[in-house]
Structures are given as C-alpha cells and as structure tokens.
C-alpha cells in the first residue's frame, strides 16, 4: 500500500516511475520510511525495560554526544579519489571521487564533508578486498542497496578493481577491426593478468594486420611489434617470431569479458574462451572475427573457403551451430574443425540462414560483482573512531576500496546530529544505555527538532521524577542544505530544561560547560 502511494506521488511530480533509476524507488522509500518511523512501534516501558534502580546518588548524570543518525566511512578507510586513493579523513570539498553509474566508471564531485565519532564499525571482507564502515552504511548488491551489517557470506557486491581506476578510456565501436582483434586473440593470443594482450606469430603480414586492426578498434592504443625467439618442442630449437604486445587493463578486461574468460592468471586462454556472441551484432564484425581467427588458426580450402581448427570444442560447436556447418574431428587428437564458406553470410545458400544478428553490440561493464566472504563487528574501541560522510554531485555514490557505496541517496532523512542529556536523581537512576535508546525511539518518527527535544526531557522527567532534566540537541537539517536558504554550515540547537536546570542558573551553566568541554560546541 505504501509503495503504491509513493508511486502515485512520483507520478504527480511528473516522473516516469518505470524509467531506469526509479523502478525501485517506491520500494526503497517505503522501506526507509518504515525504518525512520519505527519508533512508533515502541513504548517507553519497552525501551527503559524496567532498568530503573533506587540509588542514593544526587549529583548530575550526563550522557552526551548521542548520535541519532549518520552513514559514514572511518577516517583511515581508503576512498577511491580521482588522481589516487586517499584516506577518508583527507577527502575535501571539491575533490573528485570515482563512482559507478549503471556499471560504468564515472567521476563525481564532493560538495560537503561531515564527520562524527562512533565506536561501532563493521569490517566487510569480499573477494575484492576488505573495507570498514559504520554498520548502516549501504553497499550496492545484485538485489539493490543493503546495509553493511546485513550482508552475509555469498552476497554479491558491485566492485571494480581499484588498480584499473587510472586507466585510459577507449571508445569501442562495432565493426570489422574489433571483430578481427577478437578472432586473432582467441586463435593465437593470450591475455595475462587481465591487462597484457600478446599475439606471437611467425608471419609478418599477420602481425602487421593485427596491429593495424587493434589501433582502429581502440583509437589511441599503440601496440608494438617485437622480434622474439620462442622454444619449439617439435623442432627442438628456438624459433624467431613476432610478438604484438599491448599492456592495458581497460582493453584487457573488455576482451576477457567478451570472450568469457577469467581476468586472473598468466596463461593463454585459447582452450577456455567462449564464442563471443557480440560479433553477431553486425555482418562486418562477424566477418572480422572469422578472418582474424582463420589468420591465426585456420587454412585455405577449395572454392575460397577455409577451415577453422581448435581444441576448444565448446567454442567450435557454438560457431558451427551459428554457421550451420558440421563439426568434424582432426586426426587422432581431441582437436576439431569446421568449414567456413566464402558465402557464409548469404541467406538461402544450401538452405542456410546466412548472417543473422543474435546480439546487440555492447561494451562490457566496468564493474563486476565480488562475493562477500564475511562481515564482523569490530570490538568497541576505547577511543572513538572519527567517521566521515560525503555529499557528492552529480552522482551521490562513491567507491570505497573499489566497492560501490552511497550516503542514503533514496532515503528521506529530515535531520541528524547529536543529543546531550543530563538528569539529577532524586531516588531513581536508569541504565545509561537506555538513554540513547530513548533518543532512537523518538527520533525514528516524523519529527521536528523542537518536539523531539521536549519529548525526551518530559519522558525522563515522568519516568524518574528527578530533581531536574536537561536536554540539548544540535542537528544539521537537510532541508537547509538542499533547498530554500541552502546554508551549508548552519546547525540548529534546541534545549529543554526542567526542574533544577531551569530554576538554578549555576546548575544549568555547569551542564552547558560540561557538554562543551573538548568539543568546541558553540551555543
């Protein structure tokens, strides 16, 4: 029901709720509202949990610096900034951070940095690395944003290899050159560590054509041809060869993903790659693929046709199915071959469909998914951690150790900050942990800061009947940061003084001095 209402609200605002980026917004906002208003489901008795005791203590009891909302990154955690990674504490307004938008690498700018103290930190370990965050910090998973504390082993988190963030971008388009490169690499090349692309061949004309096609497919790349010697087990001697070599993670990752091979390891991928369906996006690209593969691992046959040979039977079977040609064995080994006619693309030739588009052209995403290995809550620190929040534009997300996170892009957070609470017992005291829980209960409602302040004060006064209660709250309001007056450094401070704190100026002054000590709070 709530999701439907939010969907209707978006429509009233003139938004297409089915467009990419808004499809899950009703669900996200509904979840956020239920979370932010969960305080309505609790009562004072439940929160205080009968944790009130009779104790002969009549001095001031203060619980200060109670956080009532924030999503943050610890000061030492590495954030992926443009120009080089840096600890969160060194990120400044105006810095550029790396992020991902629909899987593709983008830059975003820091427009605001805020910080706070906390003792609660979780460590998330994935196959892509380890990061530390506040428990409620969201990370992007296959099923959407999830808080760090809710992740479990096996959850897939969007990730990009941080080592690839300084790479040169390339414009990749469908066509004969890219098809040729894919075919040649599949037949006779190797991709090592996801970034070293090598083609080692005997024929100079093959090496020259491959280099020319590579340069056309990836403008700005400069593959070099080197003379090398390669040991031959058949000839029992070194053989002179030509090697065309390119080192580029941006290109290597894309080739690996088109060919469906691992980006790790250092060995040739010839036996494991898959038929790249992307080459069927155009006749020219498919022709390039066939020519590149035949130049590397094929030979001429009658009537202008050619045979393609491979020990990768899965690839060859997929290609044979596409070309509608039989798959045949070669000799006594486990190799196989297929015949590629010079008229392979002509519809109706021997009843074949000819060229048939089976894929739209696409460029593989920059990101992949890393699996969560484990999540552990770190022991409470003796000294609080300083954690930082970043507001970014035009993308609200940013990369943390290569993992995509954000500061609550889809949630509705009216204000956040700190509460300072004191009371002077008459006979009853309450467990100190119950006071932050009381703040949490009332803050998770549709609130204004003034009401929140008096509710906390009045509740403690009624429950404990002390000689006095004092509550001071300082908060940053997003409505002031994002709209209207747009004052980025302003804070709202409210107070409620009851009993001795209202009647005795010296008691009130002592409280105010104590909550300012070591913090520089200006009231």
Looking up residue 453, the CATH number of its domain turns out to be 3.30.1130.10
DSSP H/E element including 323: helix 313-323
- The residue among 378, 406, 434 that closes a domain is 406
- The residue among 349, 375, 406 that closes a domain is 406
Encoded tokens for 45:
């008795």
DSSP at 81: B
Measured CA distances, 235 to 99, 209, 299 (Å): 52, 27, 21
Task: Based on the fold, state whether residues 192 and 300 are members of the same structural domain.
Answer: yes
Task: Based on the fold, state whether residues 434 and 509 are members of the same structural domain.
Answer: yes
Helix residue ranges per DSSP H, 298-396: 313-323
Q: Name which of 30-34, 50-54, 266-270 the model is least confident about.
A: 266-270
Task: Based on the fold, state whether residues 31 and 51 are members of the same structural domain.
Answer: no
d(CA 28, CA 25) in angstroms, rounded, equals: 5
- Expressed as residue numbers, the domain containing 502 is 42-69+413-516
Residue 288 lies in a domain: yes
Residue 44's SS3 state is helix
Confidence of residue 36 (pLDDT cuts 50, 70, 90): low
Contacts (Cβ under 8 Å, ≥6 apart) of 22 = 10, 15, 16
Mean pLDDT of 300-326: 89
Nearest residue to 270 (alpha-carbon basis) of 284, 260, 280, 281:
260
d(CA 353, CA 340) in angstroms, rounded, equals: 14
369 is catalytic: no
> SS3 sequence, 437-503?
HHHHHHHCCCCCHHHHHHHHHHHHHHHHCCCEEEEEEEEEEHHHHHCCCCCCCCCEEEEEEEEHHHH
Residue 343's SS3 state is coil
Encoded tokens for 464:
């404990």
Residue 251 lies in a domain: yes
Q: Name which of 196-205, 389-398, 411-420, 471-480 the model is least confident about.
A: 411-420
Residue 319 lies in a domain: no
Task: Based on the fold, state whether residues 25 and 46 are members of the same structural domain.
Answer: no
Mean pLDDT of 161-183: 86
Residue 347's SS3 state is coil
Nearest residue to 434 (alpha-carbon basis) of 399, 459, 453, 454:
459
d(CA 509, CA 41) in angstroms, rounded, equals: 36
**Given this model, what pLDDT does residue 422 score?**
93
pLDDT in tens, 2-23: 788 878 877 887 778 787 667 7
> Which residue among the candidates 90, 358, 393, 409 is catalytic per the annotation?
409
166 is catalytic: no
Task: Based on the fold, state whether residues 392 and 417 are members of the same structural domain.
Answer: no
Instruction: Name the residue with higher pLDDT: 391 or 469.
Output: 469
Residue 371's SS3 state is strand
- Our measurement of the distance from residue 59's CA atom to the centroid of its chain's CA atoms, rounded to an integer in Å, reads 50
Task: Based on the fold, state whether residues 301 and 193 are members of the same structural domain.
Answer: yes
Task: Based on the fold, state whether residues 105 and 189 are members of the same structural domain.
Answer: no
- The residue among 406, 437, 467 that closes a domain is 406
Mean pLDDT of the chain: 82
> Which residue among the candidates 403, 406, 410, 420 is catalytic per the annotation?
410
Encoded tokens for 354:
């000819």
Residue 339 lies in a domain: no
Encoded tokens for 269:
């991928």
Task: Based on the fold, state whether residues 418 and 511 are members of the same structural domain.
Answer: yes
> Which residue among the candidates 77, 408, 420, 447 is catalytic per the annotation?
408
> Which residue among the candidates 77, 287, 447, 449 is catalytic per the annotation?
449
Encoded tokens for 21:
């980026």
449 is catalytic: yes
Q: Name which of 32-36, 248-252, 373-377, 457-461 the model is least confident about.
A: 32-36
Encoded tokens for 282:
């155009």
**Given this model, what pLDDT does residue 306 score?**
92
Task: Based on the fold, state whether residues 181 and 224 are members of the same structural domain.
Answer: yes
pLDDT in tens, 316-368: 999 999 999 998 887 656 778 999 998 999 988 888 899 999 999 988 888 88
Encoded tokens for 421:
């609470």
Dihedral sign for Cα atoms in the order 315, 319, 324, 329: negative
Residue 186 lies in a domain: yes
Judged against a pLDDT cut of 60, whether residue 480 lies above it is answered with no
d(CA 131, CA 209) in angstroms, rounded, equals: 45
Confidence of residue 70 (pLDDT cuts 50, 70, 90): very low
Q: What are the contacts of 234-239 at 24+ separation with CB within 8 A?
A: 239/202
Mean pLDDT of 430-446: 79
Residue 3 lies in a domain: yes
Which CATH number does the domain housing residue 274 bear?
Answer: 3.10.28.10
Residue 353 lies in a domain: no
DSSP at 165: T
Task: Based on the fold, state whether residues 464 and 506 are members of the same structural domain.
Answer: yes
Confidence of residue 419 (pLDDT cuts 50, 70, 90): confident
Nearest residue to 476 (alpha-carbon basis) of 148, 113, 136:
113
Mean pLDDT of 197-225: 92
d(CA 311, CA 347) in angstroms, rounded, equals: 29
d(CA 511, CA 424) in angstroms, rounded, equals: 11
Name the phi and psi angles at 437, rounded to 5: -70, -35
**Cβ pair 174, 281 in contact under 8 A:** yes
d(CA 299, CA 185) in angstroms, rounded, equals: 17
**Cβ pair 391, 407 in contact under 8 A:** yes
Encoded tokens for 292:
């590149």
**Given this model, what pLDDT does residue 41 score?**
64
Which CATH number does the domain housing residue 99 bear?
Answer: 2.170.16.10
Task: Based on the fold, state whether residues 297 and 184 are members of the same structural domain.
Answer: yes
Residue 341 lies in a domain: no
> Which residue among the candidates 137, 385, 403, 411 is catalytic per the annotation?
411
Task: Based on the fold, state whether residues 147 and 191 are members of the same structural domain.
Answer: no
Q: Rounded to the nearest 10 degrees, how much is the dihedral formed by the CA atoms of 498, 502, 506, 507?
A: 0
Confidence of residue 407 (pLDDT cuts 50, 70, 90): low
Pairing of strands 129-133, 397-400: unpaired
409 is catalytic: yes
346 is catalytic: no
Q: Rounded to the nearest 10 degrees, how much is the dihedral formed by the CA atoms of 19, 22, 23, 26?
A: -150
Please give the tally of structural domains in the chain: 4
């Amino acid at each position: 029901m709530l999701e439907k209402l939010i969907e209707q609200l978006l429509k009233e605002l003139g938004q297409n709720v089915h467009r990419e980026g808004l499809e899950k917004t009703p669900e996200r906002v509904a979840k956020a509202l239920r979370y932010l208003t969960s305080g309505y489901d609790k009562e004072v008795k439940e929160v205080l949990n009968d944790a009130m005791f009779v104790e002969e203590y009549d001095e001031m009891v203060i619980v200060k610096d109670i956080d009532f909302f924030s999503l943050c990154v610890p000061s030492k955690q590495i954030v992926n900034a443009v120009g080089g990674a840096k600890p969160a504490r060194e990120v400044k307004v105006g810095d550029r951070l790396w992020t991902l938008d629909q899987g593709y690498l983008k830059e975003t700018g820091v427009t605001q940095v805020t910080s706070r103290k906390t003792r609660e930190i979780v460590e998330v370990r994935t196959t892509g690395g380890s990061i530390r965050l506040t428990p409620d910090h969201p990370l992007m998973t296959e099923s959407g944003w999830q808080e760090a504390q809710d992740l479990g082993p096996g959850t897939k988190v969007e990730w990009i290899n941080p080592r690839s963030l300084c790479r040169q971008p390339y414009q990749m388009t469908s066509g004969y050159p890219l098809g040729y490169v894919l075919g040649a690499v599949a037949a006779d090349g190797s991709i090592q560590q996801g970034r070293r692309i090598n083609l080692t061949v005997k024929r100079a004309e093959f090496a020259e054509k491959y280099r020319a096609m590579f340069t056309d497919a990836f403008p700005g790349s400069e593959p070099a041809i080197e003379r090398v010697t390669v040991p031959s087990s058949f000839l029992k001697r070194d053989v002179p060869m030509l090697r065309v070599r390119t080192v580029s993670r941006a290109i290597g990752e894309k080739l690996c993903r088109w060919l469906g091979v691992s980006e790790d390891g250092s060995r040739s991928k010839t036996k494991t790659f898959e038929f790249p369906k992307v080459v069927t996006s155009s006749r020219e690209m498919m022709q390039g693929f066939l020519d590149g593969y035949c130049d590397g691992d094929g030979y001429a046959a009658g009537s202008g046709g050619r045979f393609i040979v491979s020990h990768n039977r899965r690839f060859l079977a997929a290609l044979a199915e596409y070309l509608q040609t039989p798959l045949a064995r070669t000799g006594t080994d486990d190799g196989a071959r297929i015949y590629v006619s010079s008229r392979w693309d002509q519809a109706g030739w021997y009843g074949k469909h000819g060229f048939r588009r089976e894929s739209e052209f696409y460029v593989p995403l920059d990101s992949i998914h890393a699996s969560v290995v484990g999540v552990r809550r770190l022991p409470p620190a003796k000294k609080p951690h300083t954690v930082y929040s970043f507001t970014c534009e035009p993308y609200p997300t940013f990369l943390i150790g290569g993992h995509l996170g954000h500061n609550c892009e889809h949630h509705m957070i009216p204000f956040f900050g700190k509460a300072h609470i004191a009371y002077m017992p008459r006979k009853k005291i309450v467990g100190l942990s119950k006071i932050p829980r009381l703040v949490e209960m009332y803050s998770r409602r549709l609130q204004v800061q003034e009401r929140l302040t008096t509710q906390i004060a009045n509740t403690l006064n009624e429950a404990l009947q002390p000689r006095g209660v004092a509550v001071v709250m300082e908060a940053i309001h997003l409505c002031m940061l994002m709209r209207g007056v747009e004052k980025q450094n302003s804070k709202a401070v409210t107070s409620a003084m009851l009993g001795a704190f209202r009647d005795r100026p010296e008691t009130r002054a002592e409280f105010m001095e104590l909550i300012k000590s070591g913090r520089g709070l200006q009231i």
